[in-house]
Amino acid sequence: MTRLNRTFGILLLLSLTAPVLATEWPLNDVTETLIVHGKVKLAKGVMGQSLALDGESLIELKDTAKFASGAFTISLWFNPYDLALGQQMLVGKNRYSLNERQWSLTIEPNGKLKAYLQQGGWITINCGQLIVAGQWHLATLVADTDKAALYLNGKLEGEVKLKMPIQATEAPITLGGIWDKKKVLQAFHGAVDEFSYQPRALNAKEITSSYQPVLAKHDIPNTITASLPLWDNTQKLPKALELPLVKGSEFHVIKKQRPDVDNCKWTLGVGLAWHKGKLYASYGYNKGEENTATEEAHVRVSSDGGKTWGKPIVMDAGEGNLGVSHGVFLSHGNKLWAFMGAFHDNFQRTHTRAYVLNETSGQWEPKGIIIENGFWPMQEPQKMGDGNWIMAGLHVSTPGQVGNLPAVAISKGDDFTKWEQVVIPAEQGLGSNIWGESTVIVEGKRILNISRYGSKPLALLSFSEDHGRTWTPTAKSNLPMATSKPYAGILSTGQRYLVCTTTADSGGSRSPLTIAVSKPGETIFSKVFVIRTSVSEFTPGVSAPNIDFSYPYAVEHEGKIYIGYTNKSHAANELAIVPVSNLEIK
């Protein structure tokens, strides 16, 4: 009865008033009622044991598709370990790829609880209380046929009207993430305990009277962080709405949004290069789905600095089960090179192919496969002090390997047909959910590698002291960064820069598009500017709330930095031109 009084006093009240009792999952062990996707550990719970999730795993509740539609109440005790991971799913009943959406409870990037309810589109209930890492909290969602309410620790946080009851789907209830297409989405790092479902809407008195606080705390697991900072800790990293908009920028369209005359369904990965007075832009193109063999590498050319663009030229359309996609350029020795990622079938046997522009015909001459074993180029090659070039990228793992780790390729001098791949190891504790699309900053023999973590909105950092031959294990940095490919370099002013989405509260969202900069000669970023917001009156391109500024690329030319990016959800490629002088830190 003590356990009921603490965590299921609701059930005691319900037993006196209704014939149907709640269904409960104590979560004090892995039982036959649970399916674990990933790994869980036992930890001290609200009473007895709980199940701790590592930020890459979730728990599926068996045979729960029939639950939690119409009128219902669900409650869950949770203890978060890391609030800087973007949006984290506590409990939900959704499978996005199958268009099965009902409801969910999440921890938002601002560290607060939020409820989502499907009404032909999501409606939400926000929570005013801050979540505290290492402490137990009780979240309760009450849905009736015409309204819903969110409670945290027995206190009503908000209500919303429903235009219709929550509709049933075949999606199961999952704890700690959403299981979709055999992947863990919106993963939660922390412990969960005592989940309850009740087939009616409880009232405020029942919920409030049943809550009793749990004072026991969890020690937050230590994670190893990079030995070098990326962000100046003496400066507060602003939230998205607090960031200054960089002045004097102009915007142009490289490839129009879907539907376009080119019948493009998917595009990604703008690459840019100035060569003999013209601006070249490449990108991946597909009339079908991403990472399928119908992918092609396309190029457009501008003779007026990016204002207008010629018709697309197919660099390589692949053949049979070969897909060729986005990559990088290098203008050197009077030639324009292109290094493009490629693969077979559905993203198997990934590799890099080289091409050289025939300036007489305007066509691209293939030079064959130059880097095998999973290397995908992400940044224009940079000249190093030892005379070789370094090209940052991603090592796509093969079955049996752990993680898709950041990697670089090192040339044999100026021979761009011969490269050696160096895979950067991961620090212990990062887990296997890494998608290490990376960029480098060359500082003499020291080279910094900044990479995407994976599903976690935090930049990873590694460095080499021997021209990229060996690396420190990539580790968590102190800079939040969206889950997208970053692009970094050094401006002519001596300022380091990083283009992606780096704000205090964007989490995994790829908006706004930002550029972080350092003071001249310094190695850490200390100011962030907004390049573009999702809704903008200054662009001839896409302006919409759901824009995702993806896979940026940057090149400086005559006092301006040219930034290409993809609006992935709209299948559009665009260009921002920013005066370098307006990125000064005063």
Q: In the chain, what are the domain boundaries?
A: 2-210, 240-583
User: 192 - beta bridge partners?
Assistant: 51, 78
Rounded average pLDDT over 444-464:
92
- Distance, in Å, from the CA atom of 401 to the CA atom of 10, rounded to the nearest integer, reads 47
- Distance, in Å, from the CA atom of 121 to the CA atom of 125, rounded to the nearest integer, reads 14
For residue 581, give the DSSP letter. Answer: G
- Residue bearing the bigger pLDDT, 296 or 20: 296
- Distance, in Å, from the CA atom of 107 to the CA atom of 89, rounded to the nearest integer, reads 6
User: 43 - beta bridge partners?
Assistant: 50
Stretch (H or E) spanning 202: none
Please classify residue 225 by burial: count the beta carbons closer than 10 Å to its beta carbon, then call 0-12 exposed, 13-18 middle and 19+ buried.
middle
Instruction: State both tokens at 578.
Output: 């920013």
Q: Torsions phi, psi of 540, nearest 5?
A: -80, -5
**Cβ contacts of residue 249 below 8 Å, gap of 6+?**
531, 532, 538, 576, 577, 578, 579, 582
Rounded average pLDDT over 62-69:
93
CB 145 within 8 A of CB 165: yes
**Which pLDDT score, from 0 to 100, does residue 228 have?**
87
pLDDT tens readout for residues 254-298 = 999 988 888 899 999 999 999 999 999 999 999 999 999 999 999
pLDDT tens readout for residues 21-34 = 679 999 999 999 99
Res 134 pLDDT > 90: yes
* Closest to 359 in 3D by CA, of 300, 276, 282: 276
**Which pLDDT score, from 0 to 100, does residue 208 have?**
93
Residue showing tokens 């001290």: 44
Res 315 pLDDT > 80: yes
Mean pLDDT is lowest, of 14-28, 251-265, 358-372, 566-580, for: 14-28
- Distance, in Å, from the CA atom of 330 to the CA atom of 274, rounded to the nearest integer, reads 9
**Which pLDDT score, from 0 to 100, does residue 430 have?**
82
Res 6 pLDDT > 50: no
Give pairs for 540-548: CB < 8 Å, separation 24+. 540/251, 540/252, 540/253, 541/251, 541/252, 541/253, 541/257, 541/567, 541/572, 541/574, 542/257, 542/567, 542/570, 542/572, 542/574, 544/570, 547/510, 547/511, 548/484, 548/509, 548/510, 548/511
Which one-letter amino acid corresponds to residue 466? D
Res 409 pLDDT > 50: yes
Rounded average pLDDT over 4-15:
42
Res 11 pLDDT > 50: no
pLDDT tens readout for residues 136-170 = 999 999 999 999 999 999 999 999 999 999 999 99
**Which pLDDT score, from 0 to 100, does residue 2 have?**
41
Mean pLDDT is lowest, of 449-453, 455-459, 573-577, for: 455-459
- Distance, in Å, from the CA atom of 142 to the CA atom of 201, rounded to the nearest integer, reads 6
Res 19 pLDDT > 60: no
Res 179 pLDDT > 50: yes
pLDDT tens readout for residues 485-501 = 999 999 999 999 999 99
Torsion region of 120: left, alpha or beta (phi above 0 gives left; psi -120 to 50 gives alpha) = left
- Distance, in Å, from the CA atom of 364 to the CA atom of 565, rounded to the nearest integer, reads 23
**Which pLDDT score, from 0 to 100, does residue 261 have?**
83
Stretch (H or E) spanning 106: strand 100-107
Pairing state of beta strands 250-255 and 572-579?
Answer: antiparallel
pLDDT tens readout for residues 372-407 = 999 999 999 999 999 999 999 999 987 656 679 999
**Which pLDDT score, from 0 to 100, does residue 3 have?**
43
pLDDT tens readout for residues 203-238 = 999 999 889 999 999 998 876 678 889 999 999 999
- Distance, in Å, from the CA atom of 487 to the CA atom of 84, rounded to the nearest integer, reads 22
The share of the chain scoring above pLDDT 90, in percent, equals 85
CB 35 within 8 A of CB 16: no
Q: Which fold has domain 240-583?
A: Neuraminidase (2.120.10)
Res 187 pLDDT > 70: yes
Res 558 pLDDT > 70: yes
**Cβ contacts of residue 152 below 8 Å, gap of 6+?**
113, 127, 129, 137, 138, 139, 140
Res 433 pLDDT > 90: no
| Helices and strands in the chain, H and E counts | 3, 42
Please report which confidence band the pLDDT of residue 66 belongs to, taking 50, 70 and 90 as the band edges: very high
Rounded average pLDDT over 515-524:
96
Rounded average pLDDT over 312-317:
97
Pairing state of beta strands 415-423 and 458-464?
Answer: unpaired
- Distance, in Å, from the CA atom of 69 to the CA atom of 166, rounded to the nearest integer, reads 5
Torsion sign, CA atoms 64, 70, 72, 78: positive
pLDDT tens readout for residues 348-362 = 999 999 999 999 999
User: 395 - beta bridge partners?
Assistant: 375
CATH code matching the domain that covers 2-210, chosen among 3.40.50.11740, 3.10.129.10, 1.10.510.10, 2.60.120.200: 2.60.120.200
Pairing state of beta strands 335-344 and 322-332?
Answer: antiparallel
Res 56 pLDDT > 90: no
Res 560 pLDDT > 80: yes
